[in-house]
Copies of this chain bind each other. A is one copy, B any other.
């Protein structure tokens, strides 16, 4: 082992110990717990070098060292391969997810699973509407002058919307409307479908034209202009476990999670399926998330449906978290493929 390698080994040791103990780690600790085959003095020299590179800092003189965000970054980058979950864990994941009865259930189970495996806050995005394909659109007359539109997409997502019409419809009208819209929508990805819907009023029979115009504009508004992005959260209680890691900003993190927008942006930005993305501390654009790391991935079968991930303190078990996120995303993808 040359000097270069050893220095990195020291960094790794610092990260590992600090993540475990939550306390600055000194040179003595390191030689005691990790057998590097060198003395503490040597480690001290290495640590001085690491500090010069900005990979670690000491909170105050005469305390051990703590990794910086940059230090974590190097640590994560050099993490050769994803350490797979244990067979037992894999079985547990699969068994837990297999019991799900519908999309909602799959997503809810996923967050719970992720939160439990990582002991962090888990986050799962509903399948993005814009990338889905329409399977069916049901039109139900709540009253003669009010319709409920229920959109079912191939991702299993079901969305609803109530429309107030200016006029009264008969059952036959409703059926005609349903057939018309479905003819234009079914089997198309949402982007294409919306274009088709926009043209519906032109071909509609005269007596239905008003209704079709209303309905199609509502559809376009809900599905294209303001496609609802939803988020499932879980394990927020885990934040308090690491309360010490968020000096006073725990509040901000909770607020950011509730905002949803912030998290959705993070997830949207990192959706390579099969590749876990890690954002460490200051790498997050959002002010409120500067104290957190986000480990995320895209999930889905053949196409990416949405993102999922974990939010925690920068001081987190990166290898374990990455493995868990990776595994859960894969199983969720498999399960959704079968639906």
Residues of A within 8 A of B (CB): 101-104, 135-136, 138, 140, 142, 146, 148, 150, 152, 156, 158, 160-162, 222, 234-237, 239-241, 250-251, 254-255, 258, 339
Chain B residues whose CB sits within 8 angstroms of the CB of A234 once the complex forms: 258
CB-contact partner of A160 in B104, B240, B250, B251, under 8 A: B104
CB-contact partner of A150 in B138, B222, B239, under 8 A: B138
Q: In the assembled complex, how far is the CB of residue A2 from the closest CB belonging to chain B, in whole angstroms?
A: 46
Chain B residues whose CB sits within 8 angstroms of the CB of A135 once the complex forms: 140, 142
Instruction: Say whether, besides A162-B101, A258-B234, A258-B237, A140 and B136 are in contact (CB < 8 Å).
Output: yes
Q: In the assembled complex, how far is the CB of residue A48 from the closest CB belonging to chain B, in whole angstroms?
A: 39
Chain B residues whose CB sits within 8 angstroms of the CB of A140 once the complex forms: 135-136, 138, 152
Name the CB-closest residue of B to A235: B258
Chain B residues whose CB sits within 8 angstroms of the CB of A258 once the complex forms: 234-237
Name the CB-closest residue of B to A221: B101
Report the bound CA distance from A255 to B116 in whole Å. 12
Chain B residues whose CB sits within 8 angstroms of the CB of A236 once the complex forms: 236, 254, 258
Q: Give me 12 A-to-B residue pairs in the complex whose CB atoms sit less than 8 angstroms apart, sorted by A's number.
A: A101-B162, A101-B222, A102-B160, A135-B140, A135-B142, A138-B138, A138-B150, A148-B152, A150-B158, A237-B255, A239-B254, A241-B251
- A138-B138, A140-B152 known; 13 new pairs, CB 8 Å cut-off, are A101-B222, A102-B161, A102-B162, A136-B140, A138-B140, A138-B150, A142-B339, A150-B150, A150-B158, A152-B160, A236-B258, A237-B254, A239-B254
Chain A binding surface, main DSSP class: mixed
Instruction: Say whether, besides A102-B160, A136-B140, A150-B150, A240 and B250 are in contact (CB < 8 Å).
Output: yes
Report the bound CA distance from A258 to B108 in whole Å. 12
Name the CB-closest residue of B to A100: B162
CB-contact partner of A254 in B146, B162, B240, under 8 A: B240
Report the bound CA distance from A102 to B339 in whole Å. 27
Q: Which 9 residue pairs across A and B have the least CB separation, nearest first?
A: A237-B254, A240-B251, A237-B255, A138-B138, A136-B140, A158-B160, A102-B162, A240-B250, A102-B160
Q: In the assembled complex, how far is the CB of residue A156 from the closest CB belonging to chain B, in whole angstroms?
A: 7
Instruction: Say whether, besides A135-B142, A237-B258, A254-B237, A101 and B150 are in contact (CB < 8 Å).
Output: no
Q: In the assembled complex, how far is the CB of residue A127 from the closest CB belonging to chain B, in whole angstroms?
A: 14
Instruction: Say whether, besides A152-B150, A258-B235, A101 and B142 are in contact (CB < 8 Å).
Output: no
Report the bound CA distance from A250 to B237 in whole Å. 8
Report the bound CA distance from A101 to B163 in whole Å. 8
Q: In the assembled complex, how far is the CB of residue A172 from the closest CB belonging to chain B, in whole angstroms?
A: 16
| A339 and B162 within 8 A (CB) | yes
Q: In the assembled complex, how far is the CB of residue A148 from the closest CB belonging to chain B, in whole angstroms?
A: 6
Chain B residues whose CB sits within 8 angstroms of the CB of A156 once the complex forms: 162
Q: In the assembled complex, how far is the CB of residue A215 from the closest CB belonging to chain B, in whole angstroms?
A: 14
Report the bound CA distance from A152 to B160 in whole Å. 10
